[in-house]
Chain A
């Protein structure tokens, strides 16, 4: 599996206006789908939408899984988000990146699911086991048992450290580092000021560093 370091959030200098980037391929496709739906060509719109789903799916499940830590819930949240996007495609603003709009819908779907899960768990018996939280082994070629053990232990530490972040910090960190959004995009997606996003990101990293360097 490729280990591509994430894009850093510092795409724009502090206080300086972000340069206007050309719209992504998915943004152009979304605008095209909106046009097709408006003109009543729903079948063609669906066909085009399949391309967006295929392109955004992997990133979406990573965000949702990081949020929810449960594959079934993440699956449901991603499906909900994609269906909502198609249902409300006519309200998509072509001047905004599609990814930001989609991320906002996805984050809301995750939050809804987390709320309903916490309500559900209030009435359920705890059935926690270490295996549920344990991240699976990374798919590296034939690691030795010692390497696997160390890697698993490190992954567990990292997961626990990220989980210990306050909700807002965790969201900002996830969107900046996993979804590879800039702070300007995250502020757009979450409806926060960019300064607030930067503060949350800074605090999240400071806390992660403290926790992970201690361990």
Chain B
């Protein structure tokens, strides 16, 4: 049997962590003070456990546990199953779209881009064809009239283009174009791509 009382720390160890040695056991049986200290510590620990359990049990009454159980099982029910595809808009019953790349769509996109590029180029060329030809004619006729322009060469011609065309001449050109639209627009028509050609 040990002589002195058990220390506070040793009492904790004896209560919670390990069994007392035979000497300590004898002492605890014989010493009312140490035995009372041990009982007090045990009661305190029980109090802590019981208080914590009661608080949790009050927060989770049986009905709440039942609901929780149902929710867990509902989650588990869907576990490992493929996700459901919800149709949009609501009521649309078409089969879910499978994200598979279709090779034709790439060709359509390429054709659309090519068509756009051709269209832009054709627009520019067509613009030049329809408007530069009469201008050249005007420049040529005016150059023939003015000998100083003939001497200057090509740079003079460029400068001449920026000069305003005579109103009478311009209107007569317009009349010719209106009278024979097919002939005037023929070059532009030839350059413009057809929708069915683009495909």
Residues of A within 8 A of B (CB): 1, 3, 5-6, 8-10, 13-14, 42, 46, 49-50, 53-54, 57-58, 61-62, 65-66, 71, 74-75, 78-79, 82-83, 86-87, 135-139, 154-155, 158-159, 161-162, 174, 176-178, 183, 198, 201-202, 205-206, 208-209, 212-213
Contact across chains for B58 and A135 when beta carbons are under 8 A apart: yes
Minimum C-beta distance from A142 to chain B (A): 16
Secondary structure of the B side of the interface? helix
Residue from the list B12, B46, B73, B80 in contact with A6, Cβ < 8 A = B46
Residue numbers in B under 8 Å from A65 (CB-CB): 52, 55-56, 59-60
What 5 new A-B contacts, CB under 8 Å, besides A139-B58, A202-B12? A3-B46, A50-B73, A178-B52, A205-B16, A212-B44
Residue from the list B8, B48, B76, B77 in contact with A158, Cβ < 8 A = B48
Asked if B75 is at the interface of the complex by the 8 Å CB criterion, the answer is yes
Asked if B97 is at the interface of the complex by the 8 Å CB criterion, the answer is no
Residue numbers in B under 8 Å from A213 (CB-CB): 44
Minimum C-beta distance from A179 to chain B (A): 10
Contact across chains for A62 and B53 when beta carbons are under 8 A apart: yes
Minimum C-beta distance from A125 to chain B (A): 24
Residue from the list B9, B18, B72 in contact with A206, Cβ < 8 A = B9
Complex Cα gap A50–B8 (Å) = 46
Contact across chains for B57 and A79 when beta carbons are under 8 A apart: no
Residue numbers in A under 8 Å from B13 (CB-CB): 202
Residue from the list A14, A57, A201 in contact with B65, Cβ < 8 A = A57
Residue numbers in B under 8 Å from A57 (CB-CB): 65, 68-69
Output the nearest chain B residue to A71 by Cβ-Cβ distance: B59
Q: In chain B between 31 and 83, which residues have their CB closer than 8 angstroms to a CB of chain A?
A: 41-42, 44-60, 64-65, 68-69, 71-73, 75-77, 79-80
Complex Cα gap A75–B55 (Å) = 14
Known: A14-B17, A155-B55, A178-B49. A71 touches B60 (CB 8 A): yes
Residue from the list A5, A10, A79 in contact with B18, Cβ < 8 A = A10
Contact across chains for B60 and A208 when beta carbons are under 8 A apart: no
Q: In chain B between 8 and 26, which residues have their CB closer than 8 angstroms to a CB of chain A?
A: 8-9, 12-13, 15-19
Residue numbers in A under 8 Å from B12 (CB-CB): 202, 205-206, 209
